[in-house]
Structure 1
Amino acid sequence: MRKPRVLWGCALAAALLLTSCGKNNAGSSGSGSMSGAASGSSSASQTTAAWKTGLGVITEASEEDRTGSIELVAAAVLLDGDGKISGVKLDELETTFSAGGDGAVNLPKDYRTKRQKGDDYPLAAASSLKKGWAEQADAFADYLIGKTPEEVSMLKLDNDGKGTDPDLLSECTIAVDHYRDAISKACSSAKVLGAAKGDRVSLGIEAVNATSDVTATDDKDVNAGIDVSMVAVTLDADGRVTSAVADMAEPALTVMSDGGIKAPDMVETKLEQGDRYGMRGASSIDKEWYEHSEGFCSYLKGKTRAEVADIPSDGSDADLMALCTISIEDLQKAALDAMAAVN
C-alpha cells in the first residue's frame, strides 16, 4: 500500500547531493538481479580512484483512526572511481499496527521485507508487466547504472512517483520516488571503505518486534514498533567482504488507552543520530553506537559468508570485542542475508 509522502521528497534528495560524497554525519561510516556488478569502464581513473560504499534509509510513519503504519526503504549503493553508480540494491518494509478501544495492540504477523516475501508479496498478478516487486526494483536499479548521483536525484517522475522514461516503464511500473530518495541518501553518505572495481553490492535487513507491551492503560502508553537492522556489503569475486556499512532504525508508534495511535514526526537511524544517540557514556570501550558499527563492519572485511556465520555473538571473540561490544545478533543476520543475495 502506498502511504502519504510526508517526510522525505525530491527537495531533500537534491539537498543531500549538494554535499560531497565524502562528507557525512558523525555517525555515518546494504535477491534479484546483480545490480552490484561493476560498470565495466576501463578508464584509468576508475582503475586507480577509490570506490565508495553507501547505505541510505528513508523511514515514514503515519496514523489514521486506530491504525498506524511504518514504512522503511533502504538502498545500498556502490560508486565507482568516477563517482557514478556501479551497483544498487533496494528493499522495503511495510508494517501495520492497530489497537482496540480498550488499548489492546494488534501486532503484525509478518516482519519480512518485500524482497524476503518474494511471491508472497502479490504484485505480479496485478502488474501490467506481470513482474513481482523484486524484479521491478532490480530493473530500476539496473536503469541507474552509470548515472551520477545528481542524475538520480533529478530523475523525472509523475505525480504518483513513477518513472516517465519509456525505457524504465518497460521494466518497472511501480512508484520509485522513495527508492530514488534512499539512493540519494546512500550516495551522499558513501565512503571509501575498501570496495574496488569488480565488486558487487548487496543489502540485508533483519526486522524484529520491539513492542513494549500489548495493552495501553491510563497510566502507561504502549510503544508499538520494530527494530530494523540493515547491512550493506560489497563482495569480491571470491565472495569475501571488501566493505560494509551497518545501521539500525527503531521506528515506533504510541498507542493510548482509548486505542488512539500517534506516529512520530521523524525517525532517524542510529548512524544519522551520530553522537546524539548517547551511548558513549554507557560503553565499556567508550564508543558511540556508530563507532561500534564501524568496528563490526571492519571485522567483516575479508571474510566469506561461512566465516561471518561462525562469528560468535556471545562476546567470546576478543578481537571483535575490542572493536564492538554492542549486540551483533541481528546485524550478523542482516549481513548473512546480504551475502546470500549475491549469486
Structure 2
Amino acid sequence: MKKTFSLLALLLVLTLLVTACGTTGATEEPAPAEAPAEVEETVEEEVTEAPAGEAGEAVSMGLALLTSIGKSTDAEADKTARAQVDTVIAAATFDSEGRVVDVIIDNAQTRVNFDEELKVASDKTALVKTKVELGADYGMGNVSSIGKEWFEQIAEVEAWMVGKTIDEIKALPMNDGYPDLPEMASTVTMSVSTYLEAVEKAYANAVPVSNVASLGLGTEVSIAKSRDYAVDADGKETLPMAQVDSVISAVAFDAAGAVVGVQIDNAQTRVNYDAEGKVTSDKAAPVLSKVELGDSYGMGAVSAIGKNWYEQIAELEAWMIGKTVDEIKALPVKVVDDAHQSVPDVPELTSSVTITVESYLATVAEAYTNAR
C-alpha cells in the first residue's frame, strides 16, 4: 500500500513539474528575432532621390536673358527722350528630377537720357549697376508697403523656387503677375511673372554639369556706344541711338574653385530715334541676345576664321572648364585693333576665337566673387 501511495505521489509531482514548465514558456515575451533583419533590409534599399520639395545634386545649369525696350519714351514738349532697356537675368542649377537646386535672378534696368538737342545726357563712361548691385539705392524700400527692397524681395522669390520643378514654379498663384500666396504676402509685393519666365527659359537652356559646389552670376552693362544726333558739314544727319551692351556670365564652380560649367551671353540692344526724338525701333518686338541670334548675328561673314559669335564664345567657355579664376584671368591676350584690345593669344584659341574677351573674363571673375 505504501509503495502504491509513493508511486502515485511521484507521478503527481512529475505532472506538476511538466505543467509548470509549459506555463512558464507560454507567458514569456517572444523574442523579436526578425526585427533587426527587417531594419537592415530597409536601410539597404533606401531611395537616394531627394524627398518631394527638396532638391538633390545639381546635374545641369542654365542661363536666360529676357530683354525689352517697351518703356522707352519719345521726346515731347515738356520732356526729353529716354531709352530704357530692361534685361531680366536668371541663372540656375537643377537636379536630375528638374528641381531647382539654386537660382540667381537679377534685373538690369538701363536708361539712356537725351537732352533737348538729342545728345546723350547720361554718363557714357559709367558702368550700369543692376538692381541687385544697387541694393538699397534702388529705392523700392521707401515705397513698398512691406518696406522691403528689390534685392530682398527677389531673394524671397529665389528661396521659394528652390526644390521646385519648373511646372511647380509656373503654377504659382498670381493676380495680374503678383504672387497670390499666403507665405509671400509679407515678403513679395512686386510683379514676378517675368522672373518665373526667365527661370523656365534657363531650364530650357541648361547644359550638363557635375561636382557643383557653388553658382555665381557676373554682369557688365555699358551704354558707351550710344550716340548723339548730329549733322555734318554736308548736311548729312546721324540719328540718335541708345545702345546698351549687357555681358552676362553664369558660372558653376567646384569645391576647389575650378569652373565646372559656364554660360556667357551678350545682349546688344539698340533703341533708335528719329530727328524729332521719336522711337523708331519696334518697342513690342522681342530682343535677342548674341547667342539667340545665332548665325543671324552675322559675325561669321566677316570673321577671319569664319566663325560666328556664338561659336567663338562656346570655344572660350570650353577653354575655361577645369580652370580657376586666377588661371582664366591669366589668359595671354593681344591687341589687334582699337575694337579688339584683348584677343586670346594662346595656340589652342588662335584658330577658334578672334573676338575681344576682356568683358567675358571680367564677368566670370565677378561670378566667382558673387558665388554662393
TM-score (norm 2): 0.73
1:206 is matched with 220
After TM superposition, the structure 1 = structure 2 runs for residues 77-96 of structure 1, keeping only pairs within 5 Å, are: 77-96=92-111
- Does residue 43 (structure 1) correspond to residue 53 (structure 2)? The answer is no
1:191 is matched with 207
The 1:154–1:197 alpha-carbon spacing in structure 2 relative to 1, beyond 3 Å, is: farther
The 1:100–1:258 alpha-carbon spacing in structure 2 relative to 1, beyond 3 Å, is: farther
- Does residue 65 (structure 1) correspond to residue 74 (structure 2)? The answer is yes
SS at match of 1:261: coil
2:120 is matched with 105
Cα contact 1:104–1:259 (8 A) shared by 2:
no
Deviation at 1:214, TM superposition (A): 2.1
More helix by share: 2
Cα contact 2:67–2:88 (8 A) shared by 1:
yes
Deviation at 1:48, TM superposition (A): 11
In the alignment, which of 169, 176, 186 is matched to residue 185 of structure 2? Answer: 169
SS at match of 2:215: strand
Deviation at 1:274, TM superposition (A): 1.1
Deviations 1:110-147 (A, max 9, x none): 61111122232222333344333222212211111121
1:125 is matched with 142
Deviation at 1:222, TM superposition (A): 2.2
In the alignment, which of 194, 200, 209 is matched to residue 178 of structure 1? Answer: 194
Q: Which letter maps to 1:252? A: R
| Structure with greater contact order relative to length (CA < 8 Å, sep ≥ 6) | 1
Alpha-carbon distance between aligned partners in 2 of 1:43 and 1:329, rounded to the nearest angstrom: 41
Q: Which letter maps to 1:54? A: G
Deviation at 1:56, TM superposition (A): 0.8
After TM superposition, the structure 1 = structure 2 runs for residues 249-328 of structure 1, keeping only pairs within 5 Å, are: 249-264=267-282, 265-313=285-333, 314=342, 315-328=344-357
Alpha-carbon distance between aligned partners in 2 of 1:319 and 1:91, rounded to the nearest angstrom: 34
Q: Which letter maps to 1:209? A: I
Alpha-carbon distance between aligned partners in 1 of 2:56 and 2:269, rounded to the nearest angstrom: 40
- Does residue 329 (structure 1) correspond to residue 338 (structure 2)? The answer is no
SS at match of 2:207: coil
Q: Which letter maps to 2:93? A: L
SS at match of 1:105: coil
TM-score (norm 1): 0.79
Aligned-residue identity in percent: 27
SS at match of 1:324: coil
Larger radius of gyration: 2
Unaligned runs of 5+ in 2: 1-46, 76-81, 334-341
SS at match of 1:186: helix
Q: Which letter maps to 1:241? A: V
Deviations 1:257-294 (A, max 9, x none): 22223343331001111121122232233322111111
The 1:168–1:238 alpha-carbon spacing in structure 2 relative to 1, beyond 3 Å, is: farther
Alpha-carbon distance between aligned partners in 2 of 1:87 and 1:174, rounded to the nearest angstrom: 21
In the alignment, which of 147, 151, 155 is matched to residue 172 of structure 2? Answer: 155
The 1:75–1:54 alpha-carbon spacing in structure 2 relative to 1, beyond 3 Å, is: same
SS at match of 2:83: strand
Cα contact 1:68–1:262 (8 A) shared by 2:
no
Aligned CA-pair RMSD: 2.6
Alpha-carbon distance between aligned partners in 1 of 2:206 and 2:58, rounded to the nearest angstrom: 11
Deviations 1:77-98 (A, max 9, x none): 1111112211111111112223
Alpha-carbon distance between aligned partners in 2 of 1:223 and 1:316, rounded to the nearest angstrom: 34
Cα contact 1:225–1:253 (8 A) shared by 2:
yes
The 1:136–1:328 alpha-carbon spacing in structure 2 relative to 1, beyond 3 Å, is: same
Deviation at 1:59, TM superposition (A): 0.5
Higher mean C-alpha displacement, 135-144 vs 93-102: 93-102
Cα contact 2:174–2:180 (8 A) shared by 1:
yes
Deviations 1:198-224 (A, max 9, x none): 532221111112434222446221221
SS at match of 1:117: helix
- Does residue 135 (structure 1) correspond to residue 152 (structure 2)? The answer is yes
Cα contact 1:68–1:263 (8 A) shared by 2:
no
Aligned residues: 300
Alpha-carbon distance between aligned partners in 2 of 1:200 and 1:249, rounded to the nearest angstrom: 25
Deviation at 1:230, TM superposition (A): 0.6
Alpha-carbon distance between aligned partners in 1 of 2:58 and 2:371, rounded to the nearest angstrom: 22
Cα contact 1:103–1:256 (8 A) shared by 2:
no
The 1:275–1:50 alpha-carbon spacing in structure 2 relative to 1, beyond 3 Å, is: farther
Deviation at 1:234, TM superposition (A): 0.8
